[in-house]
Structure 1
């Protein structure tokens, strides 16, 4: 069991680092290539669309083909995609290719990364559901949340460190990491039979018991991505900072959030007493408190405190919605529901940058106000759900499938 948990943790961590390591170096690389911000937006957005579309496919396939099989395919695909992306970047920087061909190749390579990355967390989350019972499920999902949080913190940090050597060096690291994880998975995860032995209904994202936690996942991930996208603009405008001061402050702030998230989920792993509903509700309250600080306290100390509270809130909500979704379906559908959770993350990564930047142009406070309203709606929705219904989501979800 410990080696399986370690493998799952490492797999999700590498997938998150692979996703995050590109973000800090994309803007300067795009400008070095002589391309515009619009090209950068296209490359990133189409990668997010691929993630949202493919996550459910990989999840369902892990039910049919086996978790380890899908994780291995994901890492092989990530490696090949990163080779193409890095080679294209290198060719562009060396001026071997340029113009429309360069843009097309970058879009294709980034879309392939988005296609293969969700195979890993989707199958890993389903595997965690396989090796935990209902009482320890939230502890297992907290481990996955901690892997996400650690990747969120270390991905940009690794990129920043290797970017000191050269802008393209973080991409070299992103290419090698899947190979390391591939070896670990091959050695540590035992061969596993597919969980589907006969035809079983696919998970419907709108079925009772599932939709509630997918909505919670959407609110959580939308909030996280929005903060990542507009934090730099907001704090520079609010505190009249230089670009270097802004970069330093936002890096520290996101680090505080990531550390708070990891600590919170570490405590949840040790004492997995809370069920999905209280995890989400307490996390929502903390997230709303952090939004209030962002909106009404214009000081560096206040903003750092807001980042920390945001991390604690998100650290409670992530295992909450993953556990709730997992308990809402049968064992034969764990891959399917894990894929839907991955799809929600992709949808958030696609919608949040567009909405938050449009709203920011209208008023710099509007993106935070939207996040606050979204999270408050989630809190009120969870409050209206009877405790018995939330606690027995698995039974209701499976009952719906039989009707």
Structure 2
């Protein structure tokens, strides 16, 4: 194993810990907002601001990961994330105690969980995706590598649902304190173990990739649709659980955690079992994943009980888990090595763009009629499935891009 491929587990570990910290907070964000007196739309705005920071900084982070190196980018990102969530836990504690309330509390939520944490988390997936693209020479390996990123994200979703849900049983502040601890662990791991690239491995001036580039825009459209459908559902799940089943804050955290756990299990099963063994090309992954995801999102709409909701989330995770490696790997097979950082940043920005609008729209529409964001998510996923079935870009086999080899450091 070369030194460059030997670093892949460390890069994946940084993705895992960053998303574990993020997902540990997810099961308790809805009951926390009600404990501190924030409205549903204010939580939606906070998440949307974080997504806006992902959109505006992902391309820059992706390109910097090639020009500065992966280690400096990940150390900076994990350090900022740790500091932001430590302060967020303090602010939330003051909100629960009644020391902070109203506008000031909302502003601090937006600045810490939105601006600071959003900027930090924006660096992690593009850095990992660009690195995987750099060390996987052919299509099958590329798809498996991108599935590996998705798999650790799925494990993080699963573990975060468990950690956040279980810890919420001891009080909402317990998972809030756990988040910066997890992020600090990721910071120490990257700073201590990740090797910094040599000058020969860096790209001095990585080019930008236009979202209108004919090689990539069909994949961006498909990915945008998938993440928009997820964005409409993800944040309102806690509200759906609490209102549909009449639960208190602690029970809401547990059931929401179970639903997110199911989606994580589906994601992991797809990216550990289905994707590597199927040998499907990116277009096929998108078509199959879109169809399965559509069924899952549609099954969330009717009130069929807790077990049915958890099963629907399992299908959502399975569908997205099959489709996402096709979305992330497909365009990387069509661009040069020098363009991989810019492409990874563009994919990260595209993912973040969906969460600029979807959480705020989802929570606002939920206030009008509870099933409405669920109906919209199912319709969007169905449209994505139709698009990938009909557009010719997904029927073609991507041709490998010739590139100059980068010397491995033993």
TM-score (norm 1): 0.86
Task: Pick from 102, 106, 109 the counterpart of residue 106 of structure 1.
Answer: 109
Task: Pick from 260, 266, 269 the counterpart of residue 260 of structure 1.
Answer: 266
Structure 1 residue 5 corresponds to structure 2 residue 11 = no
Structure 1 residues 123, 102: closer, same or farther in 2, change over 3 A?
same
1:61-92 CA-partner distances (Å, limit 9, x unpaired): 11211122211111111122223223333444
Q: CA RMSD in A?
A: 3.0
Q: 1:4-403 counterparts in 2 under 5 A?
A: 4-93=7-96, 100-110=103-113, 111-134=115-138, 135-193=140-198, 197=203, 199-232=205-238, 241-244=245-248, 249-268=255-274, 270-271=276-277, 273-295=279-301, 298=304, 302-360=308-366, 364-386=370-392, 390-392=396-398
1:356 CA displacement: 2.9
Match of 2:7, SS state, is helix
Match of 1:136, SS state, is helix
Match of 2:245, SS state, is coil
1:334 CA displacement: 1.5
1:256 CA displacement: 1.8
Structure 1 residues 221, 90: closer, same or farther in 2, change over 3 A?
same
Equivalents in 1 of 2:380, 2:162: separation in Å?
Answer: 30
Task: Say if 1:196 and 1:332, in contact at 8 Å, map to a contact too.
Answer: no
1:84-136 CA-partner distances (Å, limit 9, x unpaired): 22333344455665554444333222210111111112111111111212230
Comparing 204-213 with 249-258, which one deviates more in the overlay? 249-258
Q: Specify every segment of 5 or more residues in structure 2 that has no aligned partner in the other structure, as ranges.
A: 403-410
Task: Say if 2:259 and 2:310, in contact at 8 Å, map to a contact too.
Answer: yes
Comparing 266-275 with 305-314, which one deviates more in the overlay? 266-275
Structure 1 residues 81, 361: closer, same or farther in 2, change over 3 A?
closer
1:41 CA displacement: 3.5
Comparing 387-396 with 335-344, which one deviates more in the overlay? 387-396
TM-score (norm 2): 0.84
Q: Specify every segment of 5 or more residues in structure 1 that has no aligned partner in the other structure, as ranges.
A: 397-403
Task: Say if 1:295 and 1:365, in contact at 8 Å, map to a contact too.
Answer: yes
1:20 CA displacement: 2.0
Structure 1 residues 87, 305: closer, same or farther in 2, change over 3 A?
closer
Task: Say if 1:230 and 1:356, in contact at 8 Å, map to a contact too.
Answer: yes
Equivalents in 1 of 2:90, 2:305: separation in Å?
Answer: 44
Comparing 150-159 with 281-290, which one deviates more in the overlay? 150-159
Task: Say if 2:27 and 2:253, in contact at 8 Å, map to a contact too.
Answer: no
Equivalents in 2 of 1:248, 1:90: separation in Å?
Answer: 20
Equivalents in 1 of 2:223, 2:104: separation in Å?
Answer: 37
Match of 1:13, SS state, is helix
1:167 CA displacement: 2.3
1:164 CA displacement: 3.5
Structure 1 residues 161, 3: closer, same or farther in 2, change over 3 A?
farther
